[in-house]
Structure 1
Amino acid sequence: MSADGSATSPGATPGERRGHARRRQILDLAAQIAEDEGWDAVTTRRLAAGIDYSQPVIYQHFSGRGDVIRAVTLEGFVELGRLVRRRTSSGDGQAAPVAAACSAYLDFARNRPRLYAAMFSEPTSLVFADEETPTELREAFNALSEAINQQVPDRDPVPAAELLWACCHGLATLEASQRIPAEHLAGHLDSIVAMITRPV
C-alpha cells in the first residue's frame, strides 16, 4: 500500500490497476521534478506532459497541484520511517539504535533535500502533533521513539523523540545551508546521542 492508501487489491479490475499505475507514475514524476528543479517546477501541465496524458487525467487522481505535493510529502514520511526502522533493526552491530536513527535521518535529508524541505520547512496543510495528524507522520515519529525505547527503555520515548527530532532537524538544516563545517558533524552527532541516552 502506498502512503495515500491507494493500494491495488488482488481483485482489482484492469481499469483500476491502470488507474493505480498512472497515479503512481504521477507521484514518482512529481518527486523527481521537485528534486531536480524545485517544487515550483511541479505543475499539473508539466506532470501531464511528463506522463503523456492531458491535464484532465491528472484531475482524475488529484484535486490539483497542492494535492499532488501533499501525497508526495506523505510518502516522504513513509520513506523516512522505513529507513529509520531498517537501520535501527538491522542487527548488524554497526551502531546503537539512537545513533542509527540519527544517521538515517541525516542521510534522508541529504539524499532527498527538496522532499525533506516540503516535509519539514515549507508551508503545508499537514497537521502535526494533533489528533488529526496523518498516520504517515505518526509512524515516522514512532520510528524515532522506538529507537529510543530500544536503547534507553527507562526513558519516556515521546519527549525524547521530540528532542531527537529537533536536534536532527537542526543539524540537517545547518548542514544543508553549509552553516557548519562538515568535519564537525560526527562530533555533533555523538553529542546528540549522548544527550538523548544519558540517564534521567
Structure 2
Amino acid sequence: MRKILAPLALGAALLLSACGGPAVNDAASQAATAASGPTAGAALDQIATAASDPTNAALANSALDQGATALAEPTTVAALNEAATALAGPEAATAVSDAAGALSAAASDVTLQQGQALVLDASKSAGDIKDYKWTITKAPAGAEAVVGQVIKENSSGNVSIDPADYAKYFPKSGDYTVQLAVTDSAGKTATNDFAVTVP
C-alpha cells in the first residue's frame, strides 16, 4: 500500500507545481519532499494498516450510512436548495428539489384580527408546486357547516381573506383547522394542517 500511496502523493504534488505560480510550486515541492521522506512512509504504512482493519471498515461503513441518512432528511434537502439558489439561482434549487423528490406543504397558525385581512402564508412550502388548495377541515361547535369548504383552490401561493368575508369561512369564535394541500407538476400532493383562531 505504501508503494502505491507515496507515488500518488508525489504525482499530486508534481501536478500542482505544473498548474500554479511560485507559491504553489513551493508548496508542491514541500509536499513532494514530505511524501517521499521516511516519516511520510511510516504514516502511509499506518494508514494502510488501519484501512485493512475490519473494525475500522465497519466504522467507516456506519459513518457512510449515517451520512446518507442525514442527506435524505427534509431539512438537509431544504438547506441544499438554499445553497443551490445562492450559487446558481432558482433553477438550480428546483433541480436539487426535483432530484431529491422533495415536496412539502407548510403553513403557520394564525389569529384573525378584526378589521385586518387574514393572510394564509404558504411561502415555507417546498418543491415544484403548481397548485395550492386551502380547505377547512375542523370547526368549533355551531360552525360545523363550513367543514369541507374550500377557501381557495388553484392559487399560486398566499391567500388574503378580506374582513367582509370572515363570516363566510369563520362564522363563530373558536379554533378552526385549515389544511393546505400542495400539488407538484408530477401530480404528487403534500398536506399540512394549521390552526386559525377566531377571538
TM-score (normalised: structure 2): 0.24
Higher helix content, 1 or 2: 1
- Relative contact order: is structure 1 or structure 2 higher (C-alpha 8 Å, sep ≥ 6)? 1
Larger radius of gyration: 2
